Structure 1
Amino acid sequence: MRAIILAAGMGLRLQQPEGGQFPKCLLQFDGMSLLERHLQMLEAVGVRDVVLALGFEPGQVEAELQRIGWPHPVEIVLNPRYDLGSVLTVHTVAPALTRGGDVLLMDADVLYDASILQALVAQPQANRLLLDRDFEAGDEPVKLCLKDGVPVELRKQLAAGLAYDTIGESVGFFRFRAQAARRFAEIVAGYVERDCAHMPHEEAVRDLLLERSQIFDVADVSGAPWIEIDFPNDVERARSEVLPLLQPVLQPLAGVFR
């Protein structure tokens, strides 16, 4: 199993001070960066094949990797047009999507409990989405809608009259089997060819779901603490509301592997 972590963006909505801006995966919580937490979680579930999709300030992320002392090779792929949408970042990691085996596609800017990643990798041979039914309504969450257990929508804005019986927020992680990952890469390539590289990669996931060429199951992680960090108030909520609820991380990786 391979994990592809998307960490190319500038995080402009965080309103970091000019000249002091850094990739969101370097945000620190309880003395550990989000990147270190990702690697700690992946190590715990046995995923050691990691691809980092970088763009903005890649040197800062590489320096953090050195500090952490991750003991396994990390493939770094650079998207020089990181100012465009995440579709283009996913397109730059197409070789990692298509070389075989299950793939975890993960947003880097998520603080989450170990149980969420465990749900993503729990069963072999599965395409999987994660659903949190306990979400705040609004324009920002990416909604995942189900009808009789089948995904029928994955979008921030829902069309009027959409028929569904379950709705929740999609956690920013997806699991693809090899065939689904290859098809996903083809859909992403189509976006780039049509000059739609500015789109969020969830649109390509949505296309994959709605064409019904692959079967996806859905793991309900409602009640598990997590937060995607986009705005300054998300950082505060992560520290005050989410972090205290997380299963403890035993120790920083730097302390384990050095």
Structure 2
Amino acid sequence: MKAIIYAAGCGTRLQSDSPKILLEFGGQTLLEWHALRLREAGVREVVLVTGYLREQIAELLPGICARYDVAVREIVNPRFHEGSLLSLRVSLPEIEDSSEPLLLMDADVLYPTGMLDRLIGSAHGTALLLDREFSTDDDDPMLVPVKKGRPIDFRKQWSGDAEFVGESIGFFKIAPADFPLLIKETHARSGGSSCADSYDDVLRTLVLAGRFGYEEVTGLPWIEIDFPSDLVHAQKQLVPAIIGCA
């Protein structure tokens, strides 16, 4: 299985002079955490979409590949400042050339290997991970309402009839049967003002079309690194918790 990690963004809310994926937690960069967890989950082929300060990442890649026995290839999104949809756009050749399910992953998540195990092992060909325990007090989580056992929407603000609502982790398994819709929707949004869309808008199209199942990861330790407070929380609480359950 191949994983595509999207790491091109600037991370403006952190105001860091390094890409988010090079932030360190427990003595390892986030990129190293990804490499280790993917290897433990049996994923040895990784495509990394970069943009902001990509030279820093490229300098470290050979050593990380050798250290963790994972093949990581870089794809550059030169228009990274225009929106994450264009990162999905530059990765389309990797999707088009694949005959097996793919993992699409946000780069700024710290997590245990068990999350990948649940996603890869899901009986659903196309699946996402969700956590029922979330807060909207200081963040804008991507919400996933579930009804009759299926995700029915995928957006940051949602109200309506659902059995429950969870937060998306930012990791997705896409089956080859759903590649054409993903590719078509990405191309349709890649011109004009739509190119500023998030690639979440493309994924929402698949959710609304009923393509996604889900796996629940409520109770597993994880965090999306968005704010300075997330760095502190990750270092003090999440790293020990993740090491404890990995």
Q: Which band: TM-score by shorter chain?
A: over 0.9
Q: Which of residues 224, 227, 240 in structure 2 aligns to 1:244?
A: 240
CA contact (8 A) 2:145 2:166 kept: yes
1:188 paired residue number: 186
2:23 paired residue number: 27
* CA 125–151 in structure 1, closer or farther in 2 if over 3 Å, else same: closer
Tell me the distance in 1 between the aligned counterparts of 2:116 and 2:70. 19
- 1:2-151, aligned counterparts within 5 Å? 2-16=2-16, 21-68=17-64, 69=66, 70-100=68-98, 101-123=100-122, 126-138=125-137, 140-151=140-151
Matched, 1:178 2:176: yes
State TM-score, norm by structure 1. 0.88
Matched, 1:221 2:221: no
Gaps of at least 5 residues in structure 1 are 251-258
Matched, 1:232 2:231: no
CA contact (8 A) 1:187 1:208 kept: no
SS at match of 1:75: strand
* CA 88–228 in structure 1, closer or farther in 2 if over 3 Å, else same: same
CA contact (8 A) 1:114 1:247 kept: no
CA contact (8 A) 1:5 1:51 kept: yes
The letter of the residue matching 1:38 is H
Once the two structures are TM-superposed, the CA of residue 75 in structure 1 deviates from its matched residue by 2.1
Tell me the distance in 2 between the aligned counterparts of 1:121 and 1:169. 19
SS at match of 1:167: strand
Tell me the distance in 2 between the aligned counterparts of 1:182 and 1:239. 40
The letter of the residue matching 2:22 is L
Matched, 1:202 2:195: no
Tell me the distance in 1 between the aligned counterparts of 2:51 and 2:242. 29
SS at match of 2:193: coil
TM-superposition CA deviations, 1:99-134 (whole Å, max 9, x none): 121110001110111111111111466211101001
Tell me the distance in 1 between the aligned counterparts of 2:49 and 2:107. 9
Gaps of at least 5 residues in structure 2 are none
TM-superposition CA deviations, 1:73-110 (whole Å, max 9, x none): 32211100110111110111001112121110001110
The letter of the residue matching 1:32 is Q
Once the two structures are TM-superposed, the CA of residue 249 in structure 1 deviates from its matched residue by 9.5
TM-superposition CA deviations, 1:44-96 (whole Å, max 9, x none): 11111111101011111112212322544322111001101111101110011
Stretches (4+) displaced over 4 A? none
The letter of the residue matching 1:179 is A
Larger CA deviation: 116-125 vs 175-184: 116-125
Once the two structures are TM-superposed, the CA of residue 248 in structure 1 deviates from its matched residue by 5.2
Once the two structures are TM-superposed, the CA of residue 164 in structure 1 deviates from its matched residue by 1.0
Alignment root-mean-square deviation, CA: 1.7
